[in-house]
Amino acid sequence: MAVTRTATNVSAPGGGPQLRRFLQRHPGVMRLGVVLVIFIIWEIAARFLMDPDFISPPSVVFTSFGDLFTTEGVLSALGVTLYELAIAFVISVAIGVGVGLAVGLSRFAHKSFMPIVLLLYGLPQITILPIFILLFGINAPSKIAFGVSHGMFPIMISVAAGVQNIKPILLTSARSMGAGRWHILRYVIFPTMIPSLFAGMRLGMTGVLLGVLLAELYVSTAGIGYFTSVFTQNLQPTKLIGLVSLLATMAIVLNEVVRRAEVHYARWRD
Amino acid sequence: MTAEIAIQARNVSHQFGEAGEARHVQALLDTSIDVARGELLCLIGPSGCGKSTLLNVMGGLVTPTTGSVTVAGKPVRGPMPRDLAFVFQESALFPWNTVFENIVVGMTFQGVAKSEREDRARRALRAVSLEQFAEHYPGQLSGGMRQRASLARALSLETGILLMDEPFGALDEQTRMVLGEDLSVLLSRSQKTIVFVTHSLGEAVFLADRVAVFSARPGTIKQVIAVDEPHPRKPSFMTAPKFHALRDQLYGLLHDEIRKAMAESGQTRRRYDDVANGADA
Amino acid sequence: MSIRARMPRERGLWSRIVQLTFLAALLLLWTMATTEWGVSHILLPRPLSVWHEFVDIIGSGEFLPDLRVTLGELAAAFAISFTLGTTLGYLISRSSYWIKVFEPLFAGIYSIPIILFLPLYVMLFGLGPASKIALGATISFFPIVLSTIVGFGYVDRTLVTAARSMGASDVQMFRYVLFPAALPVILAGLRMGFTVALLSVIGSETIASLAGLGHRIVNLAENMEMARMFGYIAFVVAIAVLLNTLVSRLEARGRWQ
């Protein structure tokens, strides 16, 4: 079944046939153009139409990054957040792979425990965020724990699924050549699992980002949450937007790193 | 030929599932055969007749419900990687390793010393003319080349016996013929014992020293036919009158069995094939 | 490598038994921890206390004003994202060029946790429902617009050609070909959007709000009323499960494949 686009090829707007043709061949450039237009609208609205107490234009935000960094504690808060993200991710992978393998390798274990895993994954974890804070305190451990709690499930599920899908002929073949349990784990199961693992890690990174950042925002007495709260209350939109933009950039970069890794390590699978 | 027995199967019966269960299937019934050292024995028969099961039993991948198998004098209780090597129909090459790495991994399983592995791998690749493709991934190769790589892996293990389960089954006829000639050449150069499962009458006559014809399920060996022709066999053998006579003889033996097998319900046969291919292993 | 049960039917039963035993063991652990092992009630309330509070919450109707706020925010957010998402998605899907421009853009933005922007929304809209609605609408916009683009943009060309050859007008094409073909994909996107809107609303209530279920839970935590807080958590989870099941059912009704 050929699923092709039903849309017609409407040509891009723009003055002059040269520009038009260029934009048509490079939708990526047009995309940048769209983003630019949004920034321009923001600039105009913030500068002329809205209350400067509540919003800042991008030009001001951009040029004031220096102020943000010199504000005491901001840089270290960002550093701590990055540290939390890294640790939470590593732990999520460790737990995700461990449980994923355990559940995926045994058909019985899979049937018994996977429904529980899926059930837990679907719960709105944000409701128990206050409990995490009460249990682990207002510093890094609670943010890491909450991040792990979000990030480990997609990895668990992906790894279990990947392991379940091993072609039986590969196991038979390895057995026939004398492979013992350890050999099979290391040379057959593990490589099979890698593409699923990386797909799971991509979702896991998204989860870790969500968990850690939510926890950070919730705790308004320390870390990033302290600063977002302070900047909001003191009507400092420039710094607030700057801070949030930095966090967003951090998130985009981390996501992209994991995505690239996934593409690289799943090369042989097509 | 002084018959030194490489494989001895005695009264092998095998069933899948318990009697009375929906998935019960009597794959083999009281099958016995001796495989002489250095001979190529073909197992041929209709679908579901148990020839693959017998191969798996010989190789220690399946423990028969009754009966026994001895390989090189030793009773078979599980895989015997130093004595026999398999080549499967489906590509059993690890898709994440290159051809070269695949061969090395096989030797890792068998327990070959690290220092020997690379040389052996290169020799095996040379034997099947695949040296240029050593660094390719299986996904980049054609079906014929993949099977040649699988054969190279089996050869690198330097076992006395090769068990081949329809290795050329998924290939087109022209590739089959060429690979069959290569196999014959290989056989003449080494002293390997080969048990070869096939569906193709022509392939059986061309390759085998003896052909064991199976009945429809529950399978047992109906008759064994000898093909008296030295290896390496030339393509001209295929046009010889002896070839056609043997082929006709085979067809006569198989014809009724094939009809019988087709008359069975497709569902039972499919389930059997899934189980036989290790889906429940 | 697998534990092969005697018969496939029994295997299903045994899994169920394992699951129930697991849950029962958790409950037992919880009870033991709070009664015998002396885990502080400030941290972990007794299961029985939680149950009593839960029953009280429902019986007294105390949950009603908070529930109304949360559901109200959810409804408004979803209404906005639904309208904007489907309309914009349809318009973009009409041109393969604009699909190429916007689809990666939307997908890229959606990959970061947009709830991150909550402080900005609070700055602009205050601590009241408006910021929750705005953020919820923003977050749930993306899965809806993406699924609408994909749903309408990738309809099987053969079907369209066949309909055109039979003389279908543009309106007929939409009604009898495009819309039914796109519906399952769009419904999946709507379900995702709804789920995400609910999480966003509760999440933003937890972090920065004056009312609503999320806020109530935080409030109780700050006052150390643990048993009641657990009761409310159970309540919110129940509501979430209920709503999600409802939405899944609705989605299934609209599916033909």
Cα nearest neighbour of A183 on chain B: B109
- The answer to the question of residue A6 being in a domain is no
Give the CATH number of the domain where residue A149 resides: 1.10.3720.10
Cα nearest neighbour of A267 on chain B: B96
Where is B36: in which H helix or E strand?
strand B25-36
- Nearest by CB: A30 against C101, C117, C244: C101
* Residues in Cβ contact with C130 at an 8 Å cutoff, skipping those fewer than 6 apart: none
Which of B158, B190, B216 finishes a domain?
A: B158
Same-domain check for residues A113 and A26:
no
Which of B143, B158, B173 finishes a domain?
A: B158
Q: How is residue B24 annotated by DSSP?
A: -
Each residue's pLDDT tens digit, A144-201: 999 999 999 999 999 999 998 888 899 999 999 989 889 998 999 988 888 899 989 9
Distance from CA of A152 to the nearest CA of B (A): 26
Chain C contacts in chain A segment 12-51 (CB below 8 A)? 12, 24, 27, 30-31, 34-35
Predicted pLDDT of residue C4? 44
Domain with A28 in it: 17-50
- The answer to the question of residue A23 being in a domain is yes
Which of B158, B176, B199 finishes a domain?
A: B158
Same-domain check for residues B187 and B262:
yes
Domain with B235 in it: 5-83+161-276
* Residue corresponding to tokens 């935080």: C218
Chain B contacts in chain A segment 152-191 (CB below 8 A)? 167-180, 183, 187-188, 191
Same-domain check for residues B72 and B179:
yes
- The answer to the question of residue B74 being in a domain is yes
- The answer to the question of residue A55 being in a domain is no
Distance from CA of A63 to the nearest CA of B (A): 49
pLDDT beyond 90 at B24: no
Cα nearest neighbour of B58 on chain A: A176
| Position with higher pLDDT, B261 vs A199 | A199
Same-domain check for residues B201 and B69:
yes
Distance from CA of A107 to the nearest CA of C (A): 6
- The answer to the question of residue B43 being in a domain is yes
Cα nearest neighbour of C227 on chain A: A131
Same-domain check for residues A44 and A83:
no
pLDDT beyond 50 at B280: no
Cα nearest neighbour of A190 on chain B: B96
Same-domain check for residues B34 and B118:
no
- Tell me how far CA of residue C127 lies from CA of B78, C118, C141, in angstroms: 70, 10, 22
Query: Which amino acid is present at C151?
Result: G
Predicted pLDDT of residue C166? 77
Cα nearest neighbour of A270 on chain B: B139
The domain tally of chain B equals 2
Q: Which residues of B touch A168 (CB under 8 A)?
A: 277-279, 281
Q: Which residues of A touch B85 (CB under 8 A)?
A: 176-177
Angle between helix C96-110 and A27-44 (nearest 10): 60
Predicted pLDDT of residue A269? 59
Predicted pLDDT of residue B206? 93
Give the mean pLDDT of A125-144. 92
- The answer to the question of residue A238 being in a domain is yes
Distance from CA of A210 to the nearest CA of C (A): 6
Same-domain check for residues B154 and B236:
no
pLDDT beyond 80 at A15: no
pLDDT beyond 70 at B64: yes
Residue C115, Cβ density class (10 Å: 0-12 exposed, 13-18 middle, ≥19 buried): buried
Instruction: Let me know: does A103 contact A117? Beta carbons within 8 Å.
Output: yes
Each residue's pLDDT tens digit, B6-20: 999 999 999 887 777
Closest CA to A120 of A139, A144, A96, A86: A96
Predicted pLDDT of residue A267? 65
Ranges in chain C, pLDDT < 50: 1-6, 257
Same-domain check for residues A157 and A38:
no
Cross-chain Cβ contact A228/C218 below 8 Å: no
Q: Which residues of A touch B79 (CB under 8 A)?
A: 175-178
- The answer to the question of residue B281 being in a domain is no
Same-domain check for residues A110 and A77:
yes
Closest CA to B45 of B62, B31, B66, B34: B31
Same-domain check for residues B95 and B154:
yes
pLDDT beyond 50 at B281: no
| Position with higher pLDDT, C22 vs B276 | C22
Cα nearest neighbour of C114 on chain A: A248
Give the mean pLDDT of A218-224. 90
- The answer to the question of residue A8 being in a domain is no
- Tell me how far CA of residue A182 lies from CA of A189, A228, B108, in angstroms: 10, 51, 12
Same-domain check for residues A24 and A77:
no
Query: CB contact, 8 Å: B88 with chain A?
Result: yes
Give the mean pLDDT of B120-147. 92
Give the mean pLDDT of B49-64. 90
Cross-chain Cβ contact A244/C203 below 8 Å: no
10 Å Cβ neighbour count for A123? 14
Same-domain check for residues B101 and B132:
yes
Same-domain check for residues A172 and A204:
yes
Same-domain check for residues A118 and A206:
yes
* Interface mutation target, options A107, A172, A184, A270, chain B, most CBs of B under 10 Å: A172
For C48, left (φ over 0), alpha (ψ -120 to 50), or beta? alpha
Predicted pLDDT of residue B218? 83
Distance from CA of A87 to the nearest CA of B (A): 29
pLDDT beyond 60 at B275: no
Instruction: Let me know: does B1 contact B36? Beta carbons within 8 Å.
Output: yes
The domain tally of chain A equals 2
Each residue's pLDDT tens digit, B184-224: 888 888 889 999 999 899 999 999 999 999 988 888 998 99
Same-domain check for residues A37 and A107:
no
Q: Is B199 helix (H, G, I), strand (E, B) or coil?
A: coil
Give the CATH number of the domain where residue B180 resides: 3.40.50.300
Same-domain check for residues A24 and A92:
no
Cα nearest neighbour of C45 on chain A: A131
Task: Assess whether the previous peptide bond of B167 is cis (omega < 30° from 0).
Answer: no
Mean residue pLDDT across chain B? 86
Same-domain check for residues A41 and A138:
no
Cross-chain Cβ contact C221/A54 below 8 Å: no
Q: Which residues of C touch A135 (CB under 8 A)?
A: 43
Distance from CA of B178 to the nearest CA of A (A): 25
Each residue's pLDDT tens digit, A244-269: 999 999 999 999 999 889 888 876 65
Query: CB contact, 8 Å: B90 with chain A?
Result: yes
- The answer to the question of residue B76 being in a domain is yes
pTM score, whole prediction: 0.78
Mean residue pLDDT across chain A? 88
Distant-in-sequence contacts of B258-265, Cβ < 8 A, 24+ apart: B258/B46, B258/B216, B260/B46, B260/B215, B260/B216, B261/B46, B261/B47, B261/B48, B261/B49, B261/B216, B261/B217, B262/B46, B264/B48, B264/B216, B264/B217
Q: Which residues of A touch B60 (CB under 8 A)?
A: 176
* Interface mutation target, options B96, B97, B146, B161, chain A, most CBs of A under 10 Å: B96
Same-domain check for residues B68 and B128:
no
Cross-chain Cβ contact A130/C100 below 8 Å: no
Each residue's pLDDT tens digit, C187-241: 999 999 999 999 999 999 999 999 999 999 999 998 989 899 999 999 999 999 8
- Nearest by CB: A209 against C102, C104, C113: C113
B89 pLDDT tier (thresholds 50, 70, 90) = confident
Q: Are strands B40-44 and B161-165 parallel, antiparallel or unpaired?
A: unpaired
pLDDT beyond 80 at B164: yes
